Amino acid sequence: MSLDDLHLNLRNLTQDDYSQLKALMDAVYNDIGGAWPQHTIDRLIQEFPDGQIAIEDDGKLVGVALTVRVDYDEFSNPHRYDDLVGNRDIILNDPEGDAMYGLDVLIHPDYRGYRLGRRLYEARKELCRSMNLRAILAGGRIPSYHEYPDLTPAEYIERVARKEIHDPILSFQLANDFQVKRLLRKYLPEDEKSQGFATLLEWNNILFEPAERVLENRPTQVRVGAVQWQMRECASMESVLQQVEYFVDAISSYQSDFAVFPELFNAPLMGLQDRATQQDQLAAIRYLAGFTEQFKTEMSRMAVSYNINIIAGSMIEVGEEDRLYNVSYLCHRDGHVEKQSKLHITPQERREWVIEGGDELRVFDTDAGRIGILICYDVEFPELGRLLADQDMDILFVPFWTDTKNGYLRVRHCAQARAIENECYVVLCGSVGNVPSIRNLDIQYAQSAVFSPSDFAFPHDAVLAETTPNTEMVIFSDLDLTRLTVVRAEGSVTNLKDRRKDLFDLRWRDWSWKSGAKQDET
C-alpha cells in the first residue's frame, strides 16, 4: 500500500461501526474467541464514549482502542480479565473511576508498520491527562511466552525488557512508556499462548492532581519580574525605599507573582557616612545592618499592599552573639516573612566585613510554586541546588552582586548549570552602576537573566529572558511549571531521575548539636 493512498482520520467509535469492528476483532483475536457481541460494544460506547477511539482510512476501520474507567486501587492489584466483565458480557465501566483501563488495541493486519498503535496510545494518554485521571492500566498478554518453555514468566518479562526477546504485545507496551507493575496469574485462562499469564502494565499520569489539590487552584503559570538595580548615591533611607516601591508597583501592575531584587541592593546607604568614616569597613557594614529591620518591615508591607511575593535581594542581619549574616528575605503577599542566609561567604566578605555563613537551607512553599534562594556565591556550589531539587523546588532565585565581568560569568554559568542539572527555572538578578564615593561600590557588572532546562519545551539556548548588560531595567518572564513536571519524567534526558543512587548520595548534615543535642546526619 502506498503512503499516498492513506487518508487517516482519528475519531471516536460509534455504534454504526460495529460490523467493521466485529470483522477486525474476529481476525485479530481468532485464538481467544473473536469479537465482543454488539450489545457489549454499544453499552461501552454509551457509558464512556470518549474512551473508544478509532482510526479510519477513507471510511474503513483500521485501528481501534477500547477503554473503560476503573478504580485504581482495585485494578492496580492482582485481578483477572473476568473482573472487568459482568453478566451478559457487559464490561463494567466505573463512571467515578480515577483511572483508565485499556481493554484492547487492534490494528488491521494490512496497516501494521504505520505506527497506528502509537497514535491510539497517544490519544489515550491525552484523554487521561485531560480528564485528570491517575493512570492508564492494562492487562497485557504475553503471546510469545509459549515459545520459551524453559523460562519462568518473570525471566521472560526481563528478557523482553532487555530486548533479547520480542513479544508483540509486551514489547509494544514497553516502547510506549508503560511499566510492568506485577505479574497476573490466570488472567485469561483460555489464552494458551500466554499460558494464562499476563503483565499488569501502568502508564502514570505525571500531571494528575488529586481532587483536594485541584480545588486549591494551584497555578501552573508563574510570572516573575526581576529588577536590575542601579547602585546610586542616596540622600536617605526613605529615598531608597521610595525607589524600591516604585519597582514593586511597576512589576505588580503586570500581574507578576514575584518581584526580585539583587544582593545587598541597599548598600549605597553606607554612603550616608562620609568617606573617612567608611574606611572602617566593619563599622560601615554594621551601620548598614541598622537599616535592615525597617527595610524588611516596609518590603513586607509592599508585598501585602501590591499583592506580590518579594524576594528582597539580601541585606545584612545582626544575628546571635552579635554576628553578621548576609540574608535574603522572602516577603509573602499574605504578610509572613521567611529568610535564607548566604551559606558560602566570599573572601572579601570575610576579610573586610567579617560576615559569617548560615547553616540552614530551605525550600519555601509559596502560592506560586516551591522556591529556593541561593545568594550569589552559593550558586557556585552545585550540592546546594541538588539538595533543593530533591525537595521538589520549581524556581531557584539567585540575587547577586558582582563587580567585574569574569565574576559575573562565574555566577551566570553556574546558575545556568543548576537549571539544567536540576530541571528547574533559575532567576538571576544583579545590580549595576558606578558609585566611586562609596568604598566597595566603585563598579558593578550585571546581566540579569531567567534560565530554563535545556529541552524541546524550552528556548533553544535555555534562556527565557535577559537584560541589557549594565543598564537599570526590569525583565519579565512567564514560567510554566507543568513543563517542569513533563521534562522531569519524559524529557530527552532526565537528569534527576537517572542519577546512580546505587553509587553515590548527597546528605545535609544536621547541625542541631550546636544547641546541645547532636544528632545523626540526615
pLDDT of 1 reads: 56
Contact 230, 448 (CB under 8 A): no
Residues 408-420, mean pLDDT to the nearest whole number = 97
In CATH, the architecture of 221-492 is 4-Layer Sandwich (3.60)
Contact 285, 422 (CB under 8 A): no
Cell numbers at residue 117, please? 498503535
Residue 522 reports pLDDT greater than 50: no
Tell me the C-alpha distance between 272 and 270, whole Å: 5
How does residue 35 score in pLDDT terms, banded at 50, 70 and 90?
A: confident
CA angle 137, 169, 111 (to 5 degrees): 110
pLDDT, one tens digit per residue, over 444-462 is 999 999 999 999 999 999 9
Higher-scoring residue by pLDDT: 490, 343: 343
For 314-379, give the DSSP string.
-EEEE-GGG-EEEEEEEE-TTS-EEEEE--S--HHIIIII-EE-------EEEBTEEEEE--GGGG
Least confident of 111-115, 126-130, 265-269: 111-115
The amino acid at 522: T
What is the model's pTM?
Answer: 0.79
Known catalytic residues?
263, 342, 376
For cell 480515577, name the residue.
98
How does residue 111 score in pLDDT terms, banded at 50, 70 and 90?
A: confident
**Domain residue limits, the chain:** 8-204, 221-492
Q: State the average pLDDT for the chain.
A: 90
pLDDT, one tens digit per residue, over 208-237 is 888 655 445 567 899 999 999 999 989 999
pLDDT of 417 reads: 97
How does residue 517 score in pLDDT terms, banded at 50, 70 and 90?
A: very low
Tell me the C-alpha distance between 381 and 374, whole Å: 10
How does residue 512 score in pLDDT terms, banded at 50, 70 and 90?
A: low
Residue 519 reports pLDDT greater than 50: no
Residues 130-156, mean pLDDT to the nearest whole number = 93
**CA-closest candidate to residue 439, choices 324, 273, 312:** 273
Tell me the C-alpha distance between 428 and 326, whole Å: 17
pLDDT of 214 reads: 47
For cell 493486519, name the residue.
109
Phi-psi region of 269 (alpha: psi -120 to 50; beta: other; left: phi over 0): alpha
pLDDT, one tens digit per residue, over 489-507 is 888 999 988 999 989 989 8
Least confident of 36-50, 158-172, 233-247, 505-519: 505-519
The amino acid at 307: N
What backbone torsions phi and psi does residue 463 show, to the nearest 5 degrees? Answer: -115, 115
Q: What is the CATH number of domain 8-204?
A: 3.40.630.30
pLDDT of 516 reads: 52
